[in-house]
Chain A
Amino acid sequence: KNEVEQSPQNLTAQEGEFITINCSYSVGISALHWLQQHPGGGIVSLFMLSSGKKKHGRLIATINIQEKHSSLHITASHPRDSAVYICAVRWGYNTDKLIFGTGTRLQVFP
């Protein structure tokens, strides 16, 4: 069993739809990251959070530490949101490494 699991693996949506991507983890963490990866490999950090909720533009990230679960929401989705979204947890015990999920491939059609 992977330490970080994401769902769904693939997601298609029409422009304007509300998107939710889920992340569950099984290890103790100090923080959770949501990352965006476009074709060609470039990774951009969207959020780093350790509790509660963060919002940036049309993106919202939430985390429930007790349930070991986080969600990334995209409101009013747009074709330019098409990318792979990756959840990564910072395993905070005597190390600073990130453990990544396998990603959710999102395609938003006009």
Chain B
Amino acid sequence: GAGVSQTPSNKVTEKGKYVELRCDPISGHTALYWYRQSLGQGPEFLIYFQGTGAADDSGLPNDRFFAVRPEGSVSTLKIQRTERGDSAVYLCASSLVPETEAFFGQGTRLTVV
């Protein structure tokens, strides 16, 4: 695709449920990043992939959060046993190679009720 695509754009879920958020990076981009943005705050780093492997997952807040990128393109961020505090906009970005310009998706707004 022409840009980074995230689906769904909005997700409302009940506390305790499992959710999956999908990111389609720009074709050919090897680096993929997940960030989380709470209201009124700047984005916070969650995890970054180089190819299929997680190069840095130090931003994942706890073991309820997990992300995969099995074929080195599409990535899925998985959140188990969602809590109200997980409500935020989840942003995905990709870059051709690390340390180059990052292109952001529109984000998925997650609301846990």
**If the complex has contacts A41-B89, A41-B107, A41-B109, are A98 and B56 also in contact, measured as CB distance less than 8 A?**
no
Q: Does B42 contact A (CB under 8 A)?
A: yes
Instruction: Report A-chain residues with C-beta under 8 Å of the C-beta of B89.
Output: 41
* CB neighbours of B101 from chain A (8 A): 33, 45, 48
Contact code string A61-81 (vs B, CB < 8 Å = 1, else 0): 000000000000000000000
Q: How large is the interface on A (under 10, 10 to 19, 20 to 34, 35 or more residues)?
A: 20 to 34
The DSSP consensus for interface residues of chain B is: strand
- Inter-chain contact B102/A45, CB cutoff 8 Å: yes
Residue of B nearest to A33 (CB): B102
- Which residue of A is nearest B40, CB measured? A102
Q: Measured between alpha carbons, how far is A44 from B93 in the docked complex, in Å? A: 10
Is B7 in contact with chain A by the CB < 8 A criterion? no
C-alpha gap A110/B109 in the complex (Å): 32
**Residue A43 is within 8 A (CB to CB) of chain B in the complex:** yes
Given contacts A30-B99, A41-B89, 18 further A-B contacts (CB under 8 A): A33-B101, A35-B104, A41-B37, A41-B91, A43-B43, A44-B104, A45-B102, A45-B103, A86-B42, A94-B56, A95-B56, A96-B31, A96-B99, A98-B35, A99-B45, A101-B42, A102-B41, A103-B42
- A residues whose Cβ falls under 8 Å from a Cβ of B: 4, 30-31, 33, 35, 40-45, 48, 86, 88, 90, 92, 94-103
Task: Name B3-60 residues within 8 Å CB distance of A.
Answer: 31, 33, 35, 37, 40-45, 48, 50, 55-56, 58-59
